[in-house]
Amino acid sequence: MDEKSMKTGTTTLAIKGKDYVVLAADKRATAGSMIINKKVQKVFKILDNLGLTVAGNYSDIQLLMKYIKAELKLKEIRTSKRVNVKEAVNLLATLVYTNLRQMFPGITQFLVAGFDRHGVHLYDVFPDGSLNEEDEYVCSGSGMVFALGVLDALYNKNIPLDEAKKLAIKAINAALQRDTASGEGIDMMVVTKDSVEKVHTEQLTVRLNENIK
Protein backbone atom coordinates (compact mmCIF):
# COMPACT_ATOMS: atom_id res chain seq x y z
CA MET A 1 0.00 0.00 0.00
CA ASP A 2 1.16 3.54 -0.61
CA GLU A 3 1.45 6.15 2.13
CA LYS A 4 -1.87 7.78 1.24
CA SER A 5 -3.86 4.56 1.50
CA MET A 6 -2.37 3.87 4.93
CA LYS A 7 -3.33 7.26 6.33
CA THR A 8 -4.78 6.95 9.84
CA GLY A 9 -7.20 9.16 11.74
CA THR A 10 -8.61 9.83 15.19
CA THR A 11 -9.95 12.55 17.46
CA THR A 12 -8.39 13.32 20.83
CA LEU A 13 -8.78 16.36 23.06
CA ALA A 14 -7.88 17.83 26.42
CA ILE A 15 -9.74 20.46 28.44
CA LYS A 16 -7.97 22.29 31.27
CA GLY A 17 -9.79 23.80 34.22
CA LYS A 18 -8.57 25.49 37.36
CA ASP A 19 -7.37 22.30 39.05
CA TYR A 20 -8.00 19.49 36.55
CA VAL A 21 -7.50 18.29 32.98
CA VAL A 22 -10.02 16.14 31.09
CA LEU A 23 -8.52 13.85 28.43
CA ALA A 24 -10.79 12.17 25.85
CA ALA A 25 -10.54 10.25 22.58
CA ASP A 26 -12.50 8.04 20.21
CA LYS A 27 -11.83 4.27 19.90
CA ARG A 28 -11.59 3.64 16.14
CA ALA A 29 -8.42 2.58 14.31
CA THR A 30 -8.28 2.99 10.54
CA ALA A 31 -5.93 2.38 7.62
CA GLY A 32 -7.05 4.48 4.69
CA SER A 33 -10.79 3.89 4.28
CA MET A 34 -10.74 0.63 6.25
CA ILE A 35 -11.76 0.25 9.89
CA ILE A 36 -9.24 -2.19 11.36
CA ASN A 37 -10.14 -2.05 15.07
CA LYS A 38 -13.17 -0.76 16.98
CA LYS A 39 -11.77 -0.97 20.52
CA VAL A 40 -8.42 0.82 20.40
CA GLN A 41 -7.27 2.48 23.60
CA LYS A 42 -6.06 6.03 23.01
CA VAL A 43 -6.12 7.39 26.57
CA PHE A 44 -3.49 6.03 28.96
CA LYS A 45 -2.34 6.39 32.54
CA ILE A 46 1.46 6.44 32.41
CA LEU A 47 2.27 7.10 36.08
CA ASP A 48 0.24 7.84 39.19
CA ASN A 49 0.49 11.54 38.29
CA LEU A 50 0.55 11.41 34.47
CA GLY A 51 -1.93 10.58 31.70
CA LEU A 52 -2.02 11.17 27.95
CA THR A 53 -3.89 10.71 24.68
CA VAL A 54 -2.32 9.31 21.51
CA ALA A 55 -2.81 9.97 17.80
CA GLY A 56 -0.95 8.76 14.73
CA ASN A 57 0.85 5.62 13.64
CA TYR A 58 -0.08 3.03 16.28
CA SER A 59 3.04 0.88 16.00
CA ASP A 60 5.19 3.94 16.70
CA ILE A 61 2.87 4.93 19.54
CA GLN A 62 3.24 1.50 21.17
CA LEU A 63 7.03 1.69 20.92
CA LEU A 64 7.21 5.20 22.34
CA MET A 65 4.82 4.28 25.16
CA LYS A 66 7.08 1.39 26.20
CA TYR A 67 10.11 3.67 26.19
CA ILE A 68 8.50 6.51 28.14
CA LYS A 69 7.00 4.22 30.79
CA ALA A 70 10.31 2.44 31.35
CA GLU A 71 12.39 5.64 31.49
CA LEU A 72 10.02 7.42 33.87
CA LYS A 73 9.75 4.41 36.18
CA LEU A 74 13.54 4.16 36.32
CA LYS A 75 13.77 7.87 37.11
CA GLU A 76 11.31 7.49 39.98
CA ILE A 77 13.25 4.52 41.38
CA ARG A 78 16.60 6.30 41.13
CA THR A 79 15.44 9.55 42.69
CA SER A 80 12.74 8.19 45.04
CA LYS A 81 10.63 11.15 43.93
CA ARG A 82 7.54 11.66 41.82
CA VAL A 83 8.45 12.71 38.27
CA ASN A 84 8.05 16.40 37.47
CA VAL A 85 5.52 16.83 34.64
CA LYS A 86 7.72 19.13 32.56
CA GLU A 87 10.64 16.70 32.79
CA ALA A 88 8.40 13.84 31.65
CA VAL A 89 7.04 15.84 28.71
CA ASN A 90 10.52 16.93 27.63
CA LEU A 91 11.63 13.29 27.63
CA LEU A 92 8.62 12.25 25.54
CA ALA A 93 9.24 15.11 23.09
CA THR A 94 12.84 13.94 22.68
CA LEU A 95 11.67 10.39 21.97
CA VAL A 96 9.14 11.65 19.40
CA TYR A 97 11.83 13.75 17.70
CA THR A 98 14.23 10.79 17.59
CA ASN A 99 11.51 8.47 16.28
CA LEU A 100 10.63 10.91 13.49
CA ARG A 101 14.24 11.20 12.35
CA GLN A 102 14.95 7.46 12.49
CA MET A 103 11.63 5.94 11.38
CA PHE A 104 9.94 8.48 9.07
CA PRO A 105 7.09 8.51 8.04
CA GLY A 106 6.09 7.42 11.56
CA ILE A 107 3.93 10.30 12.86
CA THR A 108 2.72 10.56 16.46
CA GLN A 109 1.13 13.26 18.61
CA PHE A 110 0.48 13.21 22.35
CA LEU A 111 -1.65 15.36 24.64
CA VAL A 112 -0.10 15.00 28.10
CA ALA A 113 -1.67 15.97 31.43
CA GLY A 114 -0.18 15.58 34.88
CA PHE A 115 0.15 17.02 38.36
CA ASP A 116 3.14 17.79 40.56
CA ARG A 117 4.03 20.22 43.34
CA HIS A 118 3.62 23.09 40.86
CA GLY A 119 -0.01 22.21 40.05
CA VAL A 120 -1.90 20.60 37.13
CA HIS A 121 -0.40 20.89 33.65
CA LEU A 122 -1.39 20.23 30.02
CA TYR A 123 1.07 19.87 27.14
CA ASP A 124 0.74 19.22 23.42
CA VAL A 125 3.67 17.17 22.06
CA PHE A 126 3.68 17.71 18.29
CA PRO A 127 4.66 15.12 15.67
CA ASP A 128 8.00 16.90 15.06
CA GLY A 129 9.00 16.61 18.74
CA SER A 130 8.24 20.21 19.65
CA LEU A 131 5.91 20.92 22.57
CA ASN A 132 3.61 23.61 23.88
CA GLU A 133 1.99 24.11 27.28
CA GLU A 134 -1.75 24.75 26.98
CA ASP A 135 -3.93 26.81 29.34
CA GLU A 136 -7.40 26.07 27.94
CA TYR A 137 -8.00 23.21 25.49
CA VAL A 138 -6.35 21.41 22.59
CA CYS A 139 -7.28 18.73 20.01
CA SER A 140 -5.44 16.38 17.69
CA GLY A 141 -6.23 13.96 14.88
CA SER A 142 -8.26 14.00 11.69
CA GLY A 143 -11.46 14.99 13.51
CA MET A 144 -9.93 17.86 15.45
CA VAL A 145 -11.52 20.63 13.36
CA PHE A 146 -15.02 19.41 14.32
CA ALA A 147 -14.16 19.05 18.01
CA LEU A 148 -12.51 22.47 18.05
CA GLY A 149 -15.68 24.08 16.73
CA VAL A 150 -17.58 22.85 19.79
CA LEU A 151 -14.83 23.80 22.23
CA ASP A 152 -14.43 27.28 20.69
CA ALA A 153 -18.14 27.90 21.17
CA LEU A 154 -18.72 26.45 24.65
CA TYR A 155 -15.49 26.50 26.67
CA ASN A 156 -14.87 29.00 29.45
CA LYS A 157 -12.00 29.20 31.94
CA ASN A 158 -14.28 28.71 34.97
CA ILE A 159 -16.05 25.59 33.66
CA PRO A 160 -16.63 23.04 36.49
CA LEU A 161 -15.22 19.54 36.11
CA ASP A 162 -18.60 17.85 35.58
CA GLU A 163 -19.47 20.30 32.82
CA ALA A 164 -16.04 19.89 31.25
CA LYS A 165 -16.60 16.13 30.99
CA LYS A 166 -19.93 16.74 29.24
CA LEU A 167 -18.27 19.26 26.93
CA ALA A 168 -15.57 16.72 26.03
CA ILE A 169 -18.28 14.23 25.05
CA LYS A 170 -20.06 16.84 22.92
CA ALA A 171 -16.83 17.73 21.14
CA ILE A 172 -15.81 14.13 20.45
CA ASN A 173 -19.36 13.31 19.31
CA ALA A 174 -19.20 16.16 16.80
CA ALA A 175 -16.14 14.49 15.28
CA LEU A 176 -17.70 11.01 15.40
CA GLN A 177 -20.62 12.27 13.32
CA ARG A 178 -18.50 13.99 10.66
CA ASP A 179 -15.08 12.31 10.50
CA THR A 180 -15.14 8.79 9.07
CA ALA A 181 -11.79 7.96 10.69
CA SER A 182 -13.20 8.59 14.19
CA GLY A 183 -15.81 6.43 15.90
CA GLU A 184 -16.84 3.54 18.16
CA GLY A 185 -17.35 5.52 21.36
CA ILE A 186 -15.35 7.61 23.79
CA ASP A 187 -12.61 6.98 26.35
CA MET A 188 -12.02 9.58 29.05
CA MET A 189 -9.58 10.25 31.88
CA VAL A 190 -9.48 13.01 34.49
CA VAL A 191 -6.26 14.37 35.97
CA THR A 192 -6.57 16.38 39.19
CA LYS A 193 -4.04 17.58 41.77
CA ASP A 194 -4.44 14.25 43.57
CA SER A 195 -5.11 11.52 40.99
CA VAL A 196 -5.32 10.23 37.44
CA GLU A 197 -8.58 8.33 37.00
CA LYS A 198 -10.44 6.67 34.11
CA VAL A 199 -14.04 7.87 33.64
CA HIS A 200 -16.94 5.64 32.59
CA THR A 201 -18.49 7.69 29.78
CA GLU A 202 -21.59 5.60 29.09
CA GLN A 203 -23.64 7.08 31.94
CA LEU A 204 -22.39 10.59 31.16
CA THR A 205 -23.43 10.17 27.52
CA VAL A 206 -26.92 9.00 28.48
CA ARG A 207 -27.41 11.98 30.82
CA LEU A 208 -26.10 14.35 28.17
CA ASN A 209 -28.49 12.97 25.54
CA GLU A 210 -31.39 13.27 27.97
CA ASN A 211 -30.53 16.93 28.60
CA ILE A 212 -30.38 17.62 24.86
CA LYS A 213 -33.87 16.15 24.39
Quick one: CA torsion of 99, 116, 78, 65, rounded to 10 degrees?
Answer: -30
Active site residue: 10, 30, 53, 201, which one?
10
Strands 12-16 and 131-133: unpaired
Q: Which of 8, 9, 11, 7 is CA-nearest to residue 175?
A: 11
**Distance (Å, rounded) from C-alpha 199 to C-alpha 203?**
10
Residues 6+ positions from 117 with CB-CB distance below 8 Å: none
71, 92 contact by CB (below 8 A): no
**Distance (Å, rounded) from C-alpha 139 to C-alpha 16?**
12
Q: Identify the bridge partners of residue 209 per DSSP, sorted by sequence position.
A: none
10 carries an active-site annotation: yes
The residues annotated as belonging to the active site are 10
